Structure 1
Amino acid sequence: MLLRTITMLTLGLSLLVISCNDTTNGDLSNEKLSQINQSSQVSNLEYKAKKNSNSNSSTILEIAATNDDFSILAQAVLFAGLDKALDGRRQLTVLAPTNAAFAKLLAEGQTAEELLQSLGKETVKDILLYHVAPGKRAANAVLGSEQINTLLKKFIDVELDSGNLTVGNEENGYANVVATNVFASNGVIHVIDSVMLPPTSSLPPARK
């Protein structure tokens, strides 16, 4: 029962999905992607093992349910009522914040449950949807784009600087992409080290 609950919750990983129609495609070399993966601070070797041992028949939900790094994300998905919305065969690209990413938002002594309650269901839902867009896109095809349009209809900026790939927006800051290309039957997961907060504007931010 616990595994089933965790499985449904972690569907929130899908909240990071990226649409190929909403991006300006760039390209990241395999060497740079390898550097990103090797520098991961979130048990990337475990992600690689899962990526190799789980075939494309496993869903994002099933893969996420086996990894304790995403328990807060799973809790947030259930709290926001998005668990069923992201289930099924719909192809997604997920930018998935770890527990350590959510911990950055916690006040001293605050629990994840208290954080979610203080933000409220609609705010949590918007934050999660900012991590999701339709379409299955590997890192070298999508994350090299300048901007990504999410299911929240707000844009994520994507930047590559000295091998460090970041996603987010100028108003609220950026997250580092610390692991890439965990493939599933209904999409792909890319792991990030911070929760991305959506900008106030729904228009693509002007790039300097």
Structure 2
Amino acid sequence: MKKLTIALASAASLAIAACAEEPADNAGYDDNAAADQMTNDDMAPGTIVEVAQGDETFSTLVSAVTAANLGETLSGEGPYTVFAPTNDAFAKIPEATLTELTTNDTETLGNILTYHVVEGNVDAATLTQAITDAGEGGYTINTVNGGTLTANVVDGNVVLTDAAGGTSTVTSTDLAASNGVIHVIDTVLMPQ
């Protein structure tokens, strides 16, 4: 149960980390340049949190991030790489455990959610190359919460192994955000 709680907290932290976005400073532009900048800003993706909020697949993650009150902590400009569990990934956690984490044990939830966040913008190509370069033992990823994940390629898919020995498969990659990138995973990761 504690491992599940930690994994949920890490996932929420990841989503919240992307919530904040620095406004563009248009003071130095002339009117035409400012208009061009506004058009580009309108087309740019939102923060990691905003991207997650815009996709119903991540509604549980967004709720967990909100419950763990991680918005301010992870609202910086980043960049961050978030391994974001889907609603189906959270559904693998017993409902009572998830309720306990989101209502009474938000500290553990925060720890779980930050376990899903990595500093820097690590796209799929970079991650895959790092795994290849690391060889048979897999590539070690240091997370924001201080824990590590091990990444390997299994049957053509990137698979993450958490501290508890659980695995999660990356199902979609490189969802762009203004402060990083999201990789979608099918299971919540647990730090211990």
The normalised TM-score by structure 2 is 0.69
Q: Decide whether the 8 Å contact of 1:12 with 1:74 is kept in 2.
A: no
Q: Decide whether the 8 Å contact of 1:178 with 1:193 is kept in 2.
A: yes
Q: 1:171 to 1:65 in 2, by over 3 A?
A: closer
- CA RMSD in angstroms, aligned pairs only: 2.6
Where does structure 2 lack aligned partners over 5 or more consecutive residues?
A: 1-11, 19-41, 132-138
In 2, Cα distance between equivalents of 1:11 and 1:130: 8
Matched, 1:198 2:191: yes
In 2, Cα distance between equivalents of 1:113 and 1:78: 13
The normalised TM-score by structure 1 is 0.65
Deviation for aligned residue 1:89: 1.4
Match of 2:141, as an amino acid? I
Matched, 1:165 2:183: no
In 1, Cα distance between equivalents of 2:122 and 2:44: 14
User: What's the CA shift string for 1:8-65, capped at 9, x where partnerless?
Assistant: xx7742669xxxxxxxxxxxxxxxxxxxxxxxxxxxxxxxxxxxxx954422122111
Deviation for aligned residue 1:169: 2.5
Matched, 1:127 2:112: yes
Q: Decide whether the 8 Å contact of 2:13 with 2:116 is kept in 1.
A: no
**Rg comparison, structure with higher value:** 2
Q: 1:192 to 1:15 in 2, by over 3 A?
A: farther
In 1, Cα distance between equivalents of 2:74 and 2:163: 28
Q: Decide whether the 8 Å contact of 2:115 with 2:145 is kept in 1.
A: yes
**Partner secondary structure for residue 145 of structure 2:** coil
Aligned residue number for residue 6 of structure 2:
none
- Counterparts of 1:1-208 in structure 2, within 5 Å, are 12-13=14-15, 55-107=43-95, 110=96, 112-117=98-103, 120-143=105-128, 144-145=130-131, 146-169=139-162, 171-199=164-192
What is the aligned-residue identity percentage? 37
Q: Decide whether the 8 Å contact of 1:11 with 1:64 is kept in 2.
A: no
Where does structure 1 lack aligned partners over 5 or more consecutive residues?
A: 1-9, 17-53, 200-208
Match of 1:181, as an amino acid? D
